[in-house]
Structure 1
Amino acid sequence: MRATAMELESRMDTAYVTAVTIEDHRMAVRGDSALPPAEAVHLQSLPYELFPGLVREPRTTLGVRAPGNWRIDVTPGTGAGVGPRVRATMTGKNGTAHLDAYATGRITDRRALGETG
């Protein structure tokens, strides 16, 4: 993931983006060069090595049986001193579950199958 992020960074000619989406064999970024760095995500600052664990969590503890698609979305944090926000979503035959975390990997919210909000 880090190598792909570096390649995307060189294509965009900036390391600061407004969103990162990672799916199986695919990574996409969006940017807005008018935004200050404090309102963006720095691609090289993300802990890509923690992301597989965030994907496993909905699969193993949030009730997704027969998992199919997964997705990780990273967006800038809100408020002073808040780092990027990460959402890992897992969809299976019986529905969708997700968890929210800080980029450090600390989980802040879990939504098991059937939970809304």
Structure 2
Amino acid sequence: MFCYRCGKANEDDNRFCKYCGTMIRPPAVVVPEDLNYFPPNPDALWAYYLGIASLLCGITGIPAIVMGIRGLRYAKLHPEARGEVHAWVGIIGGALTVLCVFMLIIGVVISACL
């Protein structure tokens, strides 16, 4: 292994260059085997955030529904990722927002016709 700073050859198991002292190989990171890390379900997380945002401001309902459906599909293909609850929060929040906006539009149209 060659040092990237001074360019001199070192043994492969050296962590530091024996000529200039620069770290040439970072220490190994040991992850415990009992650590249950589940990769996130990005679509479900987006659905969750968009669903909450749609309930607060009423403009992101349809994207929340779409991302929620994608999140459910991802959770079905990758059960270790989970995220079904986040996806459902996005779908329900988005659907409620779309329903409220639709009812508001119908109310405005009816009141304009009267």
Shorter-chain TM-score: what band?
under 0.3
Task: Report the structure number with the largest CA radius of gyration.
Answer: 2
Structure holding more strand per residue: 1
Structure holding more helix per residue: 2
